[in-house]
Structure 1
């Protein structure tokens, strides 16, 4: 996943579809490429996967003691937010303050929205109700301020969607639709269909034409599910058009740059940084478009980039798998930096051997520093950026691999991650960032990102609990760990499993 403040793959390459895209252009391409198919209508050729469903779950028996400890620590963090920052976006757990994420003048209860489906899947119904009551009474997106489009989609649109799927509360869906409609001008006003970076929620004015790859391509899961549950194809179409516009601008090596001018459609740099931010979730969502909606275009696009990243970026150093940075036009080496946010990207796509290799690489880093640094030089596992902003990606990878393989090594890795997080990042007011993982004691900052309530503890809890409200066989989570398929239990929450995107 991608977060602000950071300079934030086996298959046969089939070029026919992509060359057609290049020939007709982005807008026409989406119409020509057709619509996502129902899950049962397509036969997948990748690692035995079927469209619309993940590989069979091999999750082992629950470990209730560990699951309950993780749940208790989530509540410790949540109680700090409730005490110091209720109704605001994020808590400062050391000083007992708060900060707003999108706009200093307009809190939107970001942590409340982020936490909705975590509370639900942990069975914390009183907290679900408390959050829903606040949202129904206080959340309003008629704001004369610019919102970061990418973050609003993965966090607020995704959070409200997951909350709706958990509770069947129609007001959550109405708010989700209202926000998505206010964000759509970022796509529809763009000459290329690739979204502007910011949009004014009241006026629809757009700004920020220089946009990182992940922000262009991390929309199809949230917007696709919204199209499913509303019957309105505009959201899916906008997201897919943006993906197609990137794909048609790849180089002859099937590589892409990092930042695009979405008005001119020109790359603003020459670096393909692979699974690192700010490109990471672009690859996740290509696979997600196939896994969630059976979209064969997304599958073909994923295969193309999967093959090119393996060919031009993958290398081994000290027996560990990493991905170098190269010139996307020539393949020339540019660097060997690696961000801990990349740790979860390879766990999509069904290639367990490759994902396991990459997980071992990050396990080596965790064993060396106990808490993952933000960025390393992988040749010597030396630290380049020493802080850790409570990053969840390693836990995400451990869960994905454990669910698919049943290998207890991934549970053990997740437990070490949790214990280290508890040792070095727990404070009386919750959990906080650390500023230098190389020092002892690790110096702490004063900030708990809202995504902690969506991600860290949810990935860990699902790894150790046989959660009754989550279907381990069909469940699918977004890059922000929003459960967009597979919620079950309380009430009669609607399902989107296997549904086509209407009119796409």
Structure 2
């Protein structure tokens, strides 16, 4: 089954392409006028459809946002069903995570007053020196990235200072390491580090945020630390140009030698090689991306039932490890492949995930690629399929990707909307509305990502540069925000 089209035509579709012939004479002039009028009507209908979908998307975002405001304002995450709060980084400590996550989405949606309220809270209450041990990876992509995006949107100097304070508190994870591979956790107050086995995502998902911070402050320490970590991992690739899953920080030895790309916990390592290379004009990172991606396509790509998937292999021999299974977290890779130059493979991988969406309107956390049956039935409000649709739409201009994203959106609205926001699911196969199916959490990333991709696809907002804009792995608009602050 193919993805359904939207109820009205979509903007961006050629109005009459091959029919644009040279018309001569009085009859030709009349025909040309008819064609021009028809094209104008179609264009108006398309714009109307886009406007309606954008309004739907914004309404759902604000539904979730008001639930967070009413129940958990100032805390990390909301549990909308029990009407309670959740500390994401450390029990008993809050960083206002959902506020930071939502900031640039609110700005892109034209909600300037709400975005300003977020900035006010961050400047007054986000404490970067709490006596708490935080995961460096999450703190960089969520907190540092979110505050930097807020600065890009508003130009408020205090936001840049806060981002720098956070980064300074995280740097010991890099500078205390004898190999340059970062420790996974750091105490923000004391600088004490721990976690001496780091996955690729933990090692390499910081170049965009640290690179931007170095550019804005003129302080190279942040980007230098990021590139040193990347180099330490890349230099340990196998003769096949594959990487394993995790490394011992202090010895540099591999702790897990399976190449599981594009799944977690390695996913954003590859994403940031291309994205940071494009963002900062770093040809070294781009070259590393191309070498590693060529190896993944050579040794891990596999056709199952005519669909493109990626299998886990031993990074030294290329031998398969276990059955072909895939995490929903890996669905983003379709868009990354397209951006990185492997468009056909990106489209094929997206279509494989669309086949899963045909069976399960809310994508399960993991599937068996042979049967397309879930091996993990939970639905954690993941944004990766919509992320890929956005990237492929930008790469191709084809509205089928927007249509697929809209279908994904309507299923989320039907099955995961609850009073007070949106909820994760224990089981995506449970009947719609079944009380036992809800896991009662709106993850902070829902405010950063899910509806931002839809909004950007349908709103044509002047606040984003569609040609040059780049979003981080957490959906932060680190490149391309157009500040029209009022």
Q: TM-score, normalised by structure 2?
A: 0.88
In the aligned structure 2, how far is the partner of 1:425 from the partner of 1:491? 33
Residue 437 (structure 2) pairs with residue 450 (structure 1): no
1:173-223 CA-to-partner distances (Å, cap 9, x unmatched) read 111000100000000001110110000101111000111111101110000
Asked whether the equivalents of residues 93 and 446 of structure 1 are also in contact (C-alpha less than 8 Å), the reply is: yes
**1:354 offset after TM fit, Å?**
1.3
**1:466 offset after TM fit, Å?**
0.4
Asked whether the equivalents of residues 335 and 390 of structure 2 are also in contact (C-alpha less than 8 Å), the reply is: no
Asked whether the equivalents of residues 468 and 489 of structure 1 are also in contact (C-alpha less than 8 Å), the reply is: no
Consecutive unaligned residues of structure 1, counting only runs of 5 or more, are 1-59, 493-504
Asked whether the equivalents of residues 80 and 423 of structure 2 are also in contact (C-alpha less than 8 Å), the reply is: yes
Task: Report matched runs for 1:325-344 at 5 Å.
Answer: 325-335=312-322, 336-344=324-332
User: 1:471 — aligned with what?
Assistant: 465
Q: Residue 455 of structure 1 aligns to a residue in which SS? A: helix
In the aligned structure 2, how far is the partner of 1:102 from the partner of 1:78? 20
In the aligned structure 2, how far is the partner of 1:490 from the partner of 1:166? 8
Q: Residue 70 of structure 1 aligns to a residue in which SS? A: helix
Consecutive unaligned residues of structure 2, counting only runs of 5 or more, are 1-45
In the aligned structure 2, how far is the partner of 1:155 from the partner of 1:196? 18
Q: Residue 275 of structure 1 aligns to a residue in which SS? A: coil
Task: Report matched runs for 1:231-242 at 5 Å.
Answer: 231-242=218-229
In the aligned structure 1, how far is the partner of 2:200 from the partner of 2:325? 18
- Give me the CA root mean square deviation: 1.2
User: 2:123 — aligned with what?
Assistant: 136
Q: Residue 202 of structure 1 aligns to a residue in which SS? A: coil
User: 2:394 — aligned with what?
Assistant: 403
Q: TM-score, normalised by structure 1?
A: 0.85
Q: Residue 91 of structure 2 aligns to a residue in which SS? A: coil
In the aligned structure 1, how far is the partner of 2:215 from the partner of 2:208? 10
> Which one has more relative contact order, counting CA pairs under 8 Å at least 6 apart?
1
In the aligned structure 2, how far is the partner of 1:261 from the partner of 1:136? 37
**1:353 offset after TM fit, Å?**
1.3
Asked whether the equivalents of residues 164 and 170 of structure 1 are also in contact (C-alpha less than 8 Å), the reply is: yes
User: 2:477 — aligned with what?
Assistant: 483
Asked whether the equivalents of residues 283 and 345 of structure 1 are also in contact (C-alpha less than 8 Å), the reply is: no
**1:382 offset after TM fit, Å?**
1.5
User: 2:373 — aligned with what?
Assistant: 382
In the aligned structure 1, how far is the partner of 2:439 from the partner of 2:428? 12
Q: Residue 78 of structure 2 aligns to a residue in which SS? A: strand
User: 1:74 — aligned with what?
Assistant: 61
User: 2:385 — aligned with what?
Assistant: 394
Runs of 4+ in 1 over 6 A off after TM superposition: none
Task: Report matched runs for 1:126-165 at 5 Å.
Answer: 126-165=113-152
Equivalent residue for 2:163, pick from 168, 172, 176: 176
Q: Residue 473 of structure 1 aligns to a residue in which SS? A: coil
Q: Residue 256 of structure 2 aligns to a residue in which SS? A: coil
1:47-68 CA-to-partner distances (Å, cap 9, x unmatched) read xxxxxxxxxxxxx967110001
**1:489 offset after TM fit, Å?**
3.5
**1:270 offset after TM fit, Å?**
2.1
Equivalent residue for 1:250, pick from 237, 242, 254: 237
**1:377 offset after TM fit, Å?**
1.1
In the aligned structure 2, how far is the partner of 1:439 from the partner of 1:298? 44
User: 1:353 — aligned with what?
Assistant: 344
In the aligned structure 2, how far is the partner of 1:132 from the partner of 1:347? 31
State how many pairs are aligned: 433
In the aligned structure 1, how far is the partner of 2:289 from the partner of 2:319? 23
Task: Report matched runs for 1:262-411 at 5 Å.
Answer: 262-335=249-322, 336-348=324-336, 349-411=340-402
User: 1:423 — aligned with what?
Assistant: 414
Worse overlay, 448-457 or 288-297:
288-297
Q: Residue 147 of structure 1 aligns to a residue in which SS? A: strand
Larger radius of gyration: 2
**1:92 offset after TM fit, Å?**
0.2
**1:136 offset after TM fit, Å?**
1.6
